[in-house]
Structure 1
């Protein structure tokens, strides 16, 4: 398995507002990974459509169990932000452990923590 389609950054959502202020969401970097695109199957795509989830991509990275479906993924080549819909930790046919991440459309754009 090769991860040669680019680099993604995984971010967690944080609140950068001061005490007593309106919440101000931002993103804090958790990790960076090389990734490979996977096929987004028709079944998964249309099941998500039924619940108004707009899936866009599936990517594979080296195993990282710290990633959750509350995190945000940003592709470094184009800067697009995606919500993580699902995280799986399968094993490939060669016995290599990896993480498969299903990405969905994100309607809002978050600022990065400075």
Structure 2
């Protein structure tokens, strides 16, 4: 986890100078290594930059794995308002803990 988390944090620090594809590779490696928050934060920045739905979903997964439901719900609201299909989120079993949050349906509806 250590090296991948460090790489994700460095990439966040130099995000504006980092090509999206490079940042995405670093974020994915961090997610796979279990560096949940660093990966999720990097995917969130990527989503804000590109609007790519997969980046938003990967960010959600990282925040959920880290138990950071407030961050996950914030990103979910942003992603849905940017066009992410709510059914994709509902059907993603890796987001099970998010589905159980009482605020989940409100976030999906954008409120």
Shorter-normalised TM-score: what interval? under 0.3
TM-score normalised per structure 1: 0.22
User: Greater share of helix residues, 1 or 2?
Assistant: 2
Which TM-score applies when normalising by structure 2? Answer: 0.23
Query: Which has more radius of gyration?
Result: 1
